Structure 1
Amino acid sequence: MSSSDAATRTAPASSPGPAPVVDVEQAEAALVEHYPRLVRLGYLVLPPSLGRNRRVLTAHWLTQRALPRARATVERAMIPPQRGASGSGGPGGPGGDPGYGYVRLRVLRSALEAGLPLRRRAWPRRAQLPPLLPQVWGLRLFPRSGGADELALDQQLTALSGPARAAYVLRGLERLPDAEVRRILEGVGVADPHAALAEADGVTAPYELLDSPEFDPCSLQARPPDLMRRRQHGRAALAAAAAALVCGTLLALPGDGLAPGGGAAPAYARNPAAEAALDPARLTRVGADEWRRSARTDFSVWPARGALTGDRELLGRALAVWARPGPTVQVSATPGTPSGAPPGPAQLLYAGEVGRARVVVLHDGLRLVRYAEPRSGAGGGAALDFARVDGAAQSTSGAVVVGRGKGEVRYLTAPWVRTVAVRDLRRPTSPARELRRAADGVTAPLTAVAQSDACTEVAALELHEEAPSSTRGPTTRLVTDLGELTPAHLTSGRPEAPGEVNGKAALTSWARTACLLGTVSSNGVREVNSWPYAAQRLPEGNGTATWVCTRAETWRGAGSRTLAQFQAPGKETGAIAARAQDSPACGAREPRVLAGVLWKSRAGNWHLLAAGSKDVTSIAVTGGAKGTARGNVLTTPVRKGARARLTGLVADGTKVSALR
Structure 2
Amino acid sequence: MGRVHTLAERTTVEVGPAEVEAALLENYPALVRLAYLVLPSALGRHRRILAAHGVVQRALPDRRRLERELIGEASAFEYIRRRVLRDAVRQARARTPLRMLPQVWGLRLFPRSGAADDLVLDQVMSGCTPEARAAWTLVRIEHLDVTEAEAELRAAGVEQASEAIKEAAELDESAVAGVRGPLGAQVFDPCAVRLAPTDLMRRKARGRAVAIAVTLFLALILLAALALTAGREPTAQAAPVAAQQETKQLSVDALRRTRVLWQDTARVDFTAWPARGSRINDRDLLSKALDAWTNGTGVTSVAGAWTTAPTEAPQLLYAGDVDGAAVVLFHDGQRLARYTDRDGGKVVVARTDDADVTTSAVVAISETARGVRFLTAPWVAETGLRDLKNPDAATGKLQTTDGITAPVKPPAANCSSWPALHLRSSDAIAENHAFLVTHLGGLSPAHLTYLPAPSVGDARAPREATSGAALVSWSRTVCGLRTLQNKGVKAANNWTFAEQRLPDGTYGAWVCTRSDSWAGGGWATVKLFPAGLSGGHATNTAICSRFDQHVLATTAWRSPTGVMYLLAAGSRGVDRLTVGTQTVPGPVVALPGRMTSRVSAHVTTGTTIYPLLK
Rate the CA distance shift 1:273–1:584 in 2: closer, same or farther, 3 A: farther
Q: Deviations over 1:164-187 (max 9, x none)?
A: xxxxxxxxxxxxxxxxxxxxxxxx
Which residue in the other structure is 2:296 paired with? Answer: 325
Rate the CA distance shift 1:512–1:277 in 2: closer, same or farther, 3 A: farther
User: Quick one: distance in 1 between partners of 2:565 and 2:522?
Assistant: 31
User: Quick one: distance in 2 between partners of 1:591 and 1:277?
Assistant: 52
Rate the CA distance shift 1:460–1:277 in 2: closer, same or farther, 3 A: farther
- Shift of residue 273, structure 1, vs aligned partner: 14
- Shift of residue 401, structure 1, vs aligned partner: 0.4
User: Quick one: distance in 2 between partners of 1:633 and 1:422?
Assistant: 38
Q: Please give the residue correspondences for 1:23-422 in structure 2 after superposition, counting only pairs within 5 Å.
A: 275=247, 279-287=251-259, 290-326=261-297, 329=298, 331-374=299-342, 380-406=343-369, 408-422=371-385
Which residue in the other structure is 2:422 paired with? Answer: 462
1:548 aligns with 2:511: yes
Rate the CA distance shift 1:603–1:292 in 2: closer, same or farther, 3 A: same
Which residue in the other structure is 2:488 paired with? Answer: 524
Give TM-score, length-normalised by structure 2.
0.57
User: Quick one: distance in 2 between partners of 1:501 and 1:294?
Assistant: 26
- Shift of residue 644, structure 1, vs aligned partner: 3.9
- Shift of residue 432, structure 1, vs aligned partner: 0.3
User: Quick one: distance in 2 between partners of 1:532 and 1:271?
Assistant: 62
Rate the CA distance shift 1:497–1:274 in 2: closer, same or farther, 3 A: farther
Q: Deviations over 1:261-284 (max 9, x none)?
A: 9xxxxxx99999994697222211
User: Quick one: distance in 1 between partners of 2:305 and 2:250?
Assistant: 21
Question: Paired residue for 1:445, among 392, 401, 407?
Answer: 407
Q: Deviations over 1:480-524 (max 9, x none)?
A: 001111000001117861111122111111111111111333221
Q: Letter of the aligned partner of 1:553 in structure 2?
A: D
Say whether the 8 Å CA contact 2:292–2:346 is kept in structure 1.
no
Q: Letter of the aligned partner of 1:458 in structure 2?
A: W
Q: Letter of the aligned partner of 1:636 in structure 2?
A: L
Which residue in the other structure is 1:194 paired with? Answer: none
Say whether the 8 Å CA contact 2:296–2:308 is kept in structure 1.
no
Q: Letter of the aligned partner of 2:539 in structure 1?
A: Q
Q: Letter of the aligned partner of 2:333 in structure 1?
A: G
Q: Letter of the aligned partner of 1:580 in structure 2?
A: A
Give TM-score, length-normalised by structure 1.
0.53
- Shift of residue 539, structure 1, vs aligned partner: 1.8
Structure 1: stretches of 5+ with no match in the other structure: 1-259, 262-267, 375-379
Q: Letter of the aligned partner of 1:509 in structure 2?
A: S
- Shift of residue 336, structure 1, vs aligned partner: 4.2
Which residue in the other structure is 2:204 paired with? Answer: none
User: Quick one: distance in 1 between partners of 2:326 and 2:441?
Assistant: 20
Question: Paired residue for 1:493, among 451, 454, 458?
Answer: 451
SS of residue paired to 2:417: coil
Q: Deviations over 1:266-316 (max 9, x none)?
A: xx99999994697222211224x6111122100001011111212111111
User: Quick one: distance in 1 between partners of 2:328 and 2:490?
Assistant: 22
Say whether the 8 Å CA contact 1:368–1:386 is kept in structure 2.
yes
Say whether the 8 Å CA contact 1:520–1:561 is kept in structure 2.
no
User: Quick one: distance in 1 between partners of 2:291 and 2:281?
Assistant: 17
- Shift of residue 407, structure 1, vs aligned partner: 6.5
User: Quick one: distance in 2 between partners of 1:652 and 1:318?
Assistant: 54
User: Quick one: distance in 2 between partners of 1:272 and 1:653?
Assistant: 66
Say whether the 8 Å CA contact 1:291–1:468 is kept in structure 2.
no
Rate the CA distance shift 1:516–1:365 in 2: closer, same or farther, 3 A: same
Q: Letter of the aligned partner of 1:365 in structure 2?
A: G
Q: Which has the higher helix share?
A: 2
Say whether the 8 Å CA contact 1:480–1:487 is kept in structure 2.
yes
- Shift of residue 332, structure 1, vs aligned partner: 2.2
SS of residue paired to 2:545: coil
Q: Deviations over 1:58-117 (max 9, x none)?
A: xxxxxxxxxxxxxxxxxxxxxxxxxxxxxxxxxxxxxxxxxxxxxxxxxxxxxxxxxxxx
Rate the CA distance shift 1:274–1:281 in 2: closer, same or farther, 3 A: closer
SS of residue paired to 1:596: strand
Which residue in the other structure is 1:636 paired with? Answer: 591
User: Quick one: distance in 2 between partners of 1:277 and 1:506?
Assistant: 51
Q: Letter of the aligned partner of 2:522 in structure 1?
A: S
Say whether the 8 Å CA contact 2:533–2:555 is kept in structure 1.
no
SS of residue paired to 2:483: helix
- Shift of residue 545, structure 1, vs aligned partner: 1.3
- Shift of residue 627, structure 1, vs aligned partner: 4.4
Relative contact order higher in (CA < 8 Å, ≥ 6 apart): 1
SS of residue paired to 1:548: strand
1:567 aligns with 2:520: no
Which residue in the other structure is 1:657 paired with? Answer: 610
Structure 2: stretches of 5+ with no match in the other structure: 1-231, 234-239, 453-458
Which residue in the other structure is 1:507 paired with? Answer: 471
Say whether the 8 Å CA contact 1:277–1:342 is kept in structure 2.
no
Rate the CA distance shift 1:349–1:575 in 2: closer, same or farther, 3 A: farther
Rate the CA distance shift 1:342–1:651 in 2: closer, same or farther, 3 A: closer
Say whether the 8 Å CA contact 1:277–1:319 is kept in structure 2.
no
Q: CA RMSD in A?
A: 2.7
User: Quick one: distance in 2 between partners of 1:432 and 1:278?
Assistant: 46
Aligned residues: 371
SS of residue paired to 2:285: helix
Say whether the 8 Å CA contact 2:574–2:604 is kept in structure 1.
yes
1:589 aligns with 2:547: yes
User: Quick one: distance in 2 between partners of 1:425 and 1:612?
Assistant: 27
Q: Letter of the aligned partner of 1:465 in structure 2?
A: S
User: Quick one: distance in 2 between partners of 1:616 and 1:272?
Assistant: 66
Which residue in the other structure is 1:605 paired with? Answer: 563
User: Quick one: distance in 2 between partners of 1:302 and 1:633?
Assistant: 48
- Shift of residue 382, structure 1, vs aligned partner: 2.1
SS of residue paired to 2:405: coil
Say whether the 8 Å CA contact 1:479–1:490 is kept in structure 2.
yes
Rate the CA distance shift 1:278–1:342 in 2: closer, same or farther, 3 A: farther
Say whether the 8 Å CA contact 1:649–1:656 is kept in structure 2.
yes
User: Quick one: distance in 2 between partners of 1:600 and 1:320?
Assistant: 62
User: Quick one: distance in 2 between partners of 1:295 and 1:604?
Assistant: 59
SS of residue paired to 2:404: coil
Say whether the 8 Å CA contact 1:276–1:344 is kept in structure 2.
no
Q: Letter of the aligned partner of 2:526 in structure 1?
A: A
Which residue in the other structure is 2:441 paired with? Answer: 483
Runs of 4 or more off by more than 3 Å in structure 1? 268-278
Say whether the 8 Å CA contact 2:446–2:492 is kept in structure 1.
yes
- Shift of residue 464, structure 1, vs aligned partner: 0.8
Question: Paired residue for 2:392, among 411, 419, 429?
Answer: 429
User: Quick one: distance in 1 between partners of 2:246 and 2:583?
Assistant: 65
- Shift of residue 403, structure 1, vs aligned partner: 1.0
Q: Letter of the aligned partner of 1:501 in structure 2?
A: A
Question: Paired residue for 1:614, among 563, 572, 575?
Answer: 572
User: Quick one: distance in 1 between partners of 2:605 and 2:268?
Assistant: 41
Identity of aligned residues (%): 38
SS of residue paired to 1:463: strand
Rate the CA distance shift 1:274–1:649 in 2: closer, same or farther, 3 A: farther
Say whether the 8 Å CA contact 1:371–1:385 is kept in structure 2.
yes
Say whether the 8 Å CA contact 1:527–1:554 is kept in structure 2.
yes
